[in-house]
Amino acid sequence: DRQGVASTAVALSDNLGTAFGAGVSGVAVAASQATTGAPDTGLAVAFGLTVGLGLLGALVAIRRLPPGRSPRSGDAPRP
């Protein structure tokens, strides 16, 4: 049961992240195209947001590790 819940949560967050990321990036590129005539600034903004959110996600994931565990001590838990 827990594995199914975890799998569903990962799939949902992946789908939502893809949808919102594409939407926000599209808005940034379209706004840049409309104001300056070139998508360069919008692409830079979209890339910067992507990198920033990725780093934020990595920091949150590291902080959520149980005490005494490091990201590299990743042996799968044994039943």
Which pLDDT tens digit goes with each residue over 26-77? 999 999 999 999 999 999 999 999 999 999 989 998 888 787 766 665 555 5
Distance of CA 43 to the CA centre of its chain: 17
Is the pLDDT score of 6 beyond 80? yes
Which residues lie below 8 Å from residue 49, measured CB to CB, with a gap of 6+? 24, 25, 28
Identify the CA nearest to 25 among candidates 45, 3, 6, 4. 45
Rounded to a whole number of angstroms, the CA Rg of the chain reads 18
Position 79 scores a pLDDT of 56
- Name the band, by pLDDT with cuts 50, 70 and 90, for residue 1: confident
